[in-house]
Amino acid sequence: MGQLNEKIKVFYEKTKKGHNLEMACLVRQIFSKLIQTRQLTNPKLLSSALVPQSLVSASHKLYSNAPTPYEIVDPDSQKKIQKDIIDKVNSQIENKQEGRLFAVVHVAGKQFKITDGDVIVIEGYWPPTAGDRITLDKVLLAGGVDFTLIGQPVVQKGLVRVEATVIEKTLSHTKTHFKKKRRKQYMRINFYRIPQTFLRINSIQIVGEVNNPPEVRGLETAIF
Amino acid sequence: MSNKHLFLKAGLINTPLQNGVGRYVCQLQRVVLKFCKNNGSSRGMRDFIESELVNYAKENPGVVVYLKPRRHRTAVIKAEYLNGDAQWISCRNFTQEEISKWMNLLKTQSNNNTGTRLKKLWHTDHPSIQGPWTPYTFRDPKLNLVEFPNTEWSQPADMTNTSQDDLVELFKKQKIEELNKNRAK
């Protein structure tokens, strides 16, 4: 590098002497560039002041989302994160550290967010009678303090076990159904009461492993 | 029109003694069937007593069943519950099926809830497991260090570019293209 510099210097002076102005300008440009590059490659200078002069031009970054060549993108990073999370949930369930669980269940056309010990009321005709113990199978969502299992639309069958007891079957208060048409001498009145079923939620548990579905699915309710 | 239901006492779900947490306990304690031996309005009641009452009593050993014949009066069912409530149903001209239906209802009820309107169909002691939502849930923790007033965080989150911004961007792009061309030369 030093030799080259000296050569250029000599050449520069020669051209100066020869009054070749254009040539001199060009050489000066090259010279200044050379100095710049030298400064950039000099580690001492690099560490001090010259760094923010944008070594990599950020201009094209504004218009493209393509990763720049020096970025290392791991294609499996997302999968690793997912696996870590699922493993954590599974270990929690295995060690029974999941705490209180809650679930969103679909019963008789309505959705309820329930946890252990809740009471929900189901309206309309619904066959189970007082004292019956039932499991609520249509679980749309289940979760603990640290995680949530979201069904698409229903959580994998058999993974979440929601047990409930029917504690009461009554009728609602008397509701009035009143119809009237103005100026038509038309008036009707009806009274009705809706059957109500009270359900006590006994337990919500996660049975088995999360994200480990059986190989054959959809045959849980099939009769052969 | 009756507006009675508008002035009903409104209540929340109230289950006695945590019923159903361990096991289910039938809340009906005593049923008194009052009827007349001759009158036609008690006929359905008499039929029920003849054909179904013994089975009913056998199936529900926890319920005491009394019969109370009384001359020339309407048939009536009176039910008493564990919490002290009493319910009284007039059974004038009821058929046997109607009476058995009412008897079944009384058996599965836990109190006399005629005259109370349920406000909610859900009762819980633990309303939130993951914590209630606040404006800061699911937000960038960077927000904690921001000092206000701050233009970036005071803007709406879904601000779209104005046409002026688009023009400026186009202009910049053009400039850069020109620059690249010059460099290539």
pLDDT tens-digit map of B112-168: 988 889 999 999 999 999 999 998 888 888 888 889 898 888 888 888 888 999 999
Same domain, A106 and A40: no
- The reply to whether residue A168 touches residue B110, judged by beta carbons under 8 angstroms, is yes
**Residue A63: inside a domain, yes or no?**
no
Same domain, A38 and A115: no
What are B24-73's pLDDT values in tens digits?
A: 999 999 999 999 999 999 999 999 999 999 999 999 999 999 999 999 99
Same domain, A120 and A187: yes
Same domain, A109 and A35: no
Helices A2-17 + A21-41 axis angle, to 10 = 160
Q: Residue A42 pLDDT > 50, yes or no?
A: no
Q: Which residue, among A212, A205, A114, has the nearest Cα to A160 in the 3D structure?
A: A205
Rounded to an integer, the average pLDDT of A196-223 is 87
CA dist B58 and B49 (Å) reads 13
Same domain, A38 and A109: no
**Residue A85: inside a domain, yes or no?**
no
- Residue A46's pLDDT band (boundaries 50, 70, 90)? very low
What tokens appear for A81 in the block?
């994160």
ipTM over cut 0.90? no
Residue of B155 and A202 predicted with greater confidence: A202
Classify the phi-psi angles of B138: left when phi > 0, otherwise alpha if psi is within -120 to 50, otherwise beta.
left
Rounded to an integer, the average pLDDT of B14-26 is 90
**Residue A66: inside a domain, yes or no?**
no
What are B93-112's pLDDT values in tens digits?
A: 999 999 999 999 999 999 99
Same domain, A104 and A182: yes
B65 at interface of A, judged by CB pairs closer than 8 A: no
**Shortest Cα–Cα distance, B55 to chain A (Å):** 18
Helices B43-51 + B96-108 axis angle, to 10 = 70
Same domain, A117 and A184: yes
Domain count, chain A: 2
Q: Which residue, among B55, B33, B59, has the nearest Cα to B46 in the 3D structure?
A: B33
Same domain, A117 and A183: yes
In chain A, whose CA is at the least distance from the CA of B173? A63
Q: Which domain holds residue A200?
A: 100-206
Domain residue limits, chain B: 9-118, 141-184
Same domain, A108 and A185: yes
Rounded to an integer, the average pLDDT of B16-21 is 88
Q: What is the pLDDT of residue A223?
A: 76
Same domain, A35 and A118: no
Same domain, A24 and A105: no
| Homologous superfamily assigned to B9-118 | Glutaredoxin (3.40.30.10)
Residue numbers in A near B24 (CB within 8 A): 130-131, 165-167
B5 at interface of A, judged by CB pairs closer than 8 A: yes
